[in-house]
A and B are shown apart, each in its own frame.
Chain A
Amino acid sequence: MLVYFIRRLGQAALVVAVMGAIVFVSIYMVGNPVDVLANPNADAKEMAEIAGRLGLDKPLHEQFALFVWNALHGDLGRSFVFNEPALKLIIQRMPATLELAFAALIVSVLIGIPLGMLAGLWPHSVWGRGIMTGSILGFSLPNFWIGLMLILLFAVQLRWLPSGGRGETVTVLGVPVSFLTVDGLRHLVLPAFTLALYKAALVIRLARAGTREAMLQDYVRFARAKGLSPSRIILVHVLKNIMIPITTVLGLEFGGMIAFAVVTETVFAYPGMGKLLIDSIGRLDRPIIVAYLMMVVVVFVVINFVVDLIYAALDPRVRLSEQGS
């Protein structure tokens, strides 16, 4: 297990290093941010002065060496626009994105499990088929457009909910959160629901497949023979068993949710990391783009690493086959 752990850790570090190099080189090869930042009337001397201050006049490999050295010290550069550390800006926006992603995760489970179980219990009924059709739509329809239509319906036509922003926040342990205020919750409903749709479609499929399989198992038959009520069998025995694969998949998909929040945050003008990324792409603010990407790469690698370790701990075949190869 220790050998496996060290090998996987080495691989994870390698992935971060490779992605870092790719991200850095590709981002730093395009455009000249000085053109964006400098006063349009600035002369060549002023431009060179700005480039020098930002370290843009050095050769690419020196910039990269500096970037790696600084990154190892937790410094991913300063934003050209805000003149603040990029990592700090990202971390400031992070609670909003995490809050959105968690809210979406909860919504997707609350929608997905009941509907998936219904479809699994009566797969050939009108309801079962309707739910599966809905799940296909949830998978394939462009998410941002659904968000726009929700804004149109609930914010513009009915005026029930705000169309964007984060609303009122309260500070808990130094972190601003919005789910504790009514106004914050009202702002969270539409973006969280939109972001949840895709995952809810996934949960529906998992719950449906799991329920269909579980209903044929001996323990369900035994519970019936014991005279347990159908609701108790479904809500206690079946539910517990289908939660295992759903939990695994949702854990793996959480990183994807943070990444996809880029789109949801743009639609709802929600001040999270993703909105910052899109704004920074428009402004050629490279350090923020690099910092965001490195952050996401690290989150993904950590999630995959932890899942791999858990699998290896649960299933000896995984670590044995690794050692054999």
Chain B
Amino acid sequence: MPERYAYANALRDVHPVEKLFFSFSLMAISLISSSMAVLLMVIIIMAAVVLFLAKIPPRYYLKMMSSAFVFVFLGSAAIAYGSVDLNGAMFIFFRAFAAISCFYFLILTTPASDIFSVLRKIHVPAVICELMGLTYRFIFVFMDISHKTRTAQSSRLGYDGLKNSYRAMGILVSSLFQRMFRQADILNTALESRGYTGELRVMQRGFKTSAANIAAITIIDVLLIFAGTR
């Protein structure tokens, strides 16, 4: 999971708003731009930032990019299929790749919890933020449970043959559903005993805004827009 690097990369302490602004502005430029050069520049800039500033291991980045490559290739092939416009398909391919580079920069450098704090700031309803926080936490709990159950089932030949596989998976999903209810019960008891009244308040990590970063991002944006209009 790319999330592992989000918590441990060299850009971890950069303000999440700056990272979001960088990622989304370049993404918007790639989606609007009609210049192939701009798309290539976005791909190169993002790769450079991820590899040299965030210091994500090149091997991992390459792995992510190559699996994205398969999807993007198939997607643009599907769009181009039956059409004569190969240049158009090439363009769609690079546009998607540029946007994906921007998105991967974000998920490799910014943990989901930092993104929530930004969502809270832009006044996404509190209920949604809380549900997201709970979902985030329990995704990993349930993944773990489902993984263990699956291992236990396969060690008893539960996934031997198609019929058994379906039966085993049906049991897995329904037992997960029951576990979910029990977890909610336990969590409710635990929280209520600590004075829970329907609101989960947690300390936010402090971030410093950096004028240099904002300036650098703005300059890159302006240069790309300028390059695109020429």
A and B: real partners? no
Q: Which residues of A contact B (CB under 8 A)?
A: none
